[in-house]
Amino acid sequence: MATLKLVLGAWLLPLPIGLTLVCFGLLLRVGARRRAGRALIIAGVTVVAMATLGPIADTLLQPLEARYPAMLDASTLQPAQQFVAVLGSGYRPRAGLPVTSALDAVAVVRLAEGIRLQRQLPAARLIVSGGPMRNEPPIARGYALAAVALGVPAAAVILSDGPRDTREEIRALHAQVGDAAVLLVTSAAHMPRAMALARREGLYAIAAPTGNLTRPGAPGDSWLTLPSGTSLRKSETALHEYEGLLALELGLD
């Protein structure tokens, strides 16, 4: 099921959808249904082009990122939190590279935020989450190595290296912390889905989003309507999360 979700998640994005439409359109153009083929080609190009525009990408992404405010000072929480949990992303260790290079960009940002919050709570333990993906070691192990390298005591780090998706991570966290509250660290766009899963599983989670790609209330670069890979990535992130939220609503996750 986890593999199927990865495949569907990778395909249900603007670029693969657009390319698929174009390919079908080209096939129809060769046959008798040229008008239908032309319509599919135009639709495919339009899907990709729209997803690369800054205003559209930001419009899709901002509602997700703005749903939960950042946790600026965890030391003000009462009672003091005992756990800070960082959800997984990507980890590909290679000989000759430091662990910070083995973590993907999203993972580095999430871990940095988790360490920042854990340092505001001296008694808290850092739970690092994420199982093996694509024949790579568990992301949790990469997190743990990086956290210790960045000064977190090894005794303060708890591994959760079995879960392979967000639902499994939330379940594992609940099993680890029970009824205790946990500061939940993940990307701002991913936070609504993570919190929805936490509510469903009965985990007392406090949102600590990070890695914002948009600036709520600020125009940013939205005026720039030239296509860009950055905007495409934002659109992909937003659509992936909306698909995940829809799956939750339909009971498919």
CATH of the domain at 196: 3.40.50.620
Regarding whether 107 and 40 lie in a shared domain, the answer is: no
Cis peptide before 163 (omega within 30 of 0): no
Q: How many separate domains does the chain show?
A: 2
Regarding whether 243 and 156 lie in a shared domain, the answer is: no
Regarding whether 236 and 179 lie in a shared domain, the answer is: no
Regarding whether 78 and 61 lie in a shared domain, the answer is: no
Regarding whether 193 and 82 lie in a shared domain, the answer is: yes
Regarding whether 188 and 140 lie in a shared domain, the answer is: yes
Dihedral of the alpha carbons of 145, 184, 8, 234, in degrees to the nearest 10 = -90
Regarding whether 179 and 106 lie in a shared domain, the answer is: yes
Regarding whether 140 and 39 lie in a shared domain, the answer is: no
> Quick check: is 215 in a domain?
no
Regarding whether 78 and 52 lie in a shared domain, the answer is: no
Give CA–CA dist 103/51, Å, rounded.
27
- The reported pLDDT for the residue numbered 60 is 95
Give CA–CA dist 244/253, Å, rounded.
8
Q: How far is CA 123 from the centre of its chain?
A: 28
> Quick check: is 119 in a domain?
yes
The separation between the first and the last C-alpha atoms of the chain, rounded to the nearest angstrom, is 10
Q: pLDDT band at residue 220, thresholds of 50, 70 and 90? A: very low
Mean model confidence pLDDT for the chain: 90
Give CA–CA dist 106/90, Å, rounded.
8
Question: Which of the pair, 86 or 27, is modelled with greater confidence?
Answer: 86
Regarding whether 175 and 98 lie in a shared domain, the answer is: yes
> Quick check: is 222 in a domain?
no
The parent domain of residue 137 ranges over: 74-210
> Quick check: is 219 in a domain?
no
Q: What is the mean pLDDT of residues 108-125?
A: 96
* Residue carrying the six token digits 């469903």: 200
Question: Which of the pair, 169 or 133, is modelled with greater confidence?
Answer: 169
Q: Which one-letter amino acid corresponds to residue 30?
A: V
> 82 with 206: CB under 8 angstroms?
no
User: Does the predicted model carry a pTM greater than 0.85?
Assistant: yes
Regarding whether 170 and 92 lie in a shared domain, the answer is: yes
Q: pLDDT band at residue 134, thresholds of 50, 70 and 90? A: confident
Structural element, H or E, at residue 87? none
Regarding whether 134 and 33 lie in a shared domain, the answer is: no
- The reported pLDDT for the residue numbered 28 is 83
Strands (E), the chain: 83-86, 125-129, 157-160, 182-187, 205-210
Tell me the HSE value of 58 on the side-chain side, using a 13 A CA sphere. 17
Task: Say what percent of the chain tops pLDDT 70.
Answer: 91
pLDDT in tens, 65-77: 999 999 999 999 9
pLDDT in tens, 157-203: 999 999 999 999 999 999 999 999 999 999 999 999 999 999 999 99
> Quick check: is 190 in a domain?
yes
